[in-house]
């Protein structure tokens, strides 16, 4: 994404009822079940959902108290919570199969701590984190508003609001923003495709959803009428896993920054926090957000890299995109290593990741969420390193 000048940039989001997000939710529900039973459990769960079928697969290491029957029931409960009890996909009637098996001993030996060896990364890989001061959440504006539209529609649907009457769980949004001098100033188009009951009046639905979107976008940002699209194909009755097969990990750009920043090679959902695909990506976002929150830069991209079985990151890269406030990027990278232990164990301990907190992350983005002190969730969205960073730089 260009960061200065005048341009258009687009991001999309998908709802919790999108087939891939149903799969992500189930995989994270399986992960939460294991972590609730044993905080040190190992999980790499992949899910496929299609017409009245749920398939679990992957590798696990955890207590026998987590049974196949219990996991299948948890998957059904997740589908029920999303809202699927349709002819083609129902939490009650779907055939559910569990093919999870024991974690490879070759992987475990590289990850486990033993003697003088600290716990190693669960795999090699590169992870990125990003923050920008163009929104209050320090997220890029296009993905921020794309998420908010669908999250609001979900909340209204669950509350029985008349503006979303007749809508079903599957939905997608897309927001295109006009940037002037590198800052977002208005939306040039908004697209919403949402599953609905048969026979719904599309013109009425468009008017109702227009009212929802106007309440989300800043005043004056609503695109002109011809650039507001609702169900462009004209009908969207068959949806969810009945309309399209869903797989864990296929929405990694939706999960992160909407394409406004680089993304590493791995998905998040279904992976326990020894997998740096997830935990180190959370750490990167946490560090980048604290850098921007501390006023050290307007934008910050951070990359970490790891090797399987090796504890410390192989590299820490900081890019302030020429917006740094008299900050040397190399020095800042060294400071970040000092203010946070970036080993897999250190990240898990600092962000308290060995807890059943992941089902909630599976839709509407892993980043830009509001941490809740009572539930101690989304800890990577906190800005509690601001003072340490400023102090290290004598600010």
User: Of 266, 335, 353, which Cα lies nearest the Cα of 41?
Assistant: 353
More confident residue, 202 or 116: 202
pLDDT of residue 116: 47
* Res. 108: pLDDT tops 60: no
Confidence of residue 225 (pLDDT cuts 50, 70, 90): very high
In the β-sheet with 7-14, what is the strand arrangement from edge to edge? 7-14, 167-180, 183-196, 228-230
Report the alpha-carbon distance of residue 354 to residue 351 in Å, rounded.
9
Residues 158 and 82 in one domain: no
Q: Is 202 annotated as a binding residue?
A: no
* 1 assigned to some structural domain: no
Q: Is 271 annotated as a binding residue?
A: yes
pLDDT of residue 294: 98
* Res. 316: pLDDT tops 60: yes
Residues 159 and 231 in one domain: yes
Confidence of residue 379 (pLDDT cuts 50, 70, 90): very high
Q: Is 18 annotated as a binding residue?
A: yes
Query: Helix axis angle, 19-37 relative to 68-82, nearest 10°?
Result: 130
Residues 56 and 94 in one domain: yes
* 118 assigned to some structural domain: no
* 267 assigned to some structural domain: no
Contact 341, 167 (CB under 8 A): no
CB-based contacts of 388, cutoff 8 Å, min separation 6: 339
Residues 204 and 221 in one domain: yes
Q: Is 244 annotated as a binding residue?
A: yes
Q: Is 80 annotated as a binding residue?
A: no
CATH code, 152:
3.30.300.10
Q: DSSP state, 187?
A: E
Q: Is 21 annotated as a binding residue?
A: no
Q: Is 24 annotated as a binding residue?
A: no
The domain total for the chain is 3
Mean of all residue pLDDT scores within the chain:
94
* 116 assigned to some structural domain: no
Q: Is 171 annotated as a binding residue?
A: yes
**Domain that includes residue 98, residue range:** 19-111
Q: Is 170 annotated as a binding residue?
A: yes
Contact 126, 265 (CB under 8 A): yes
* Res. 217: pLDDT tops 70: yes
Reported as a single tens digit per residue, the pLDDT across 129-168 is 999 999 999 999 999 999 999 999 999 999 999 999 999 9
Q: Is 3 annotated as a binding residue?
A: no
Q: Is 319 annotated as a binding residue?
A: no
Q: Is 117 annotated as a binding residue?
A: no
* 218 assigned to some structural domain: yes
Confidence of residue 118 (pLDDT cuts 50, 70, 90): low
Residues 381 and 294 in one domain: yes
């Amino acid at each position: 994404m260009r960061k200065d000048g005048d341009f258009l940039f687009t991001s999309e989001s998908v709802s919790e009822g999108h087939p891939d997000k149903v799969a992500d939710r189930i995989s994270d529900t399986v992960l939460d079940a294991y972590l609730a039973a044993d905080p040190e459990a190992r999980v790499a769960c992949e899910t496929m959902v299609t017409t009245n079928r749920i398939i679990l697969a992957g590798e696990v290491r955890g207590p026998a108290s987590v049974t196949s029957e219990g996991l299948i029931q948890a998957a059904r409960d997740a589908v029920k919570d999303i809202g699927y009890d349709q002819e083609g996909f129902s939490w009650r009637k779907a055939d559910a199969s569990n093919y999870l098996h024991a974690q490879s001993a070759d992987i475990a030996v590289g990850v486990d701590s033993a003697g003088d060896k600290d716990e190693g990364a669960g795999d090699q890989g590169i992870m990125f984190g990003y923050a920008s001061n163009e929104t209050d959440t320090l997220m890029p504006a296009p993905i921020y508003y794309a998420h908010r539209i669908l999250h609001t529609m979900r909340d209204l649907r669950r509350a029985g609001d008349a503006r979303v009457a007749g809508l079903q769980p599957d939905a997608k949004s897309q927001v295109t923003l006009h940037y002037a001098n590198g800052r977002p100033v208005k939306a040039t188009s908004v697209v919403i495709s949402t599953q609905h009951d048969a026979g719904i009046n599309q013109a009425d639905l468009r008017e109702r959803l227009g009212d929802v979107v106007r309440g989300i976008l800043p005043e004056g940002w609503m695109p002109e009428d011809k650039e507001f699209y609702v169900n462009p194909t004209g009908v969207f009755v068959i949806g969810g896993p009945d309309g399209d097969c869903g797989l864990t990990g296929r929405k990694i750009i939706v999960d992160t920054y909407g394409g406004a920043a680089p993304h590493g090679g791995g998905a998040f959902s279904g992976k326990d926090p020894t997998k740096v695909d997830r935990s180190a990506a959370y750490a990167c976002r946490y560090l980048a957000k604290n850098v921007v929150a501390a006023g050290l830069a307007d934008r910050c991209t951070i990359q970490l890299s790891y090797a399987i079985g090796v504890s410390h990151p192989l590299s820490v890269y900081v890019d302030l995109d020429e917006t740094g406030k008299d900050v040397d990027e190399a020095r800042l990278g060294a400071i970040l290593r000092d203010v946070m232990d970036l080993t897999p164990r250190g990240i898990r301990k600092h962000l308290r990741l060995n807890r059943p907190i992941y089902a909630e992350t599976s839709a509407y983005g892993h980043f830009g969420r509001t941490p809740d002190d009572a539930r101690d969730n989304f800890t990577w969205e906190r800005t509690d390193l601001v003072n340490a960073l400023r102090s290290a730089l004598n600010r």
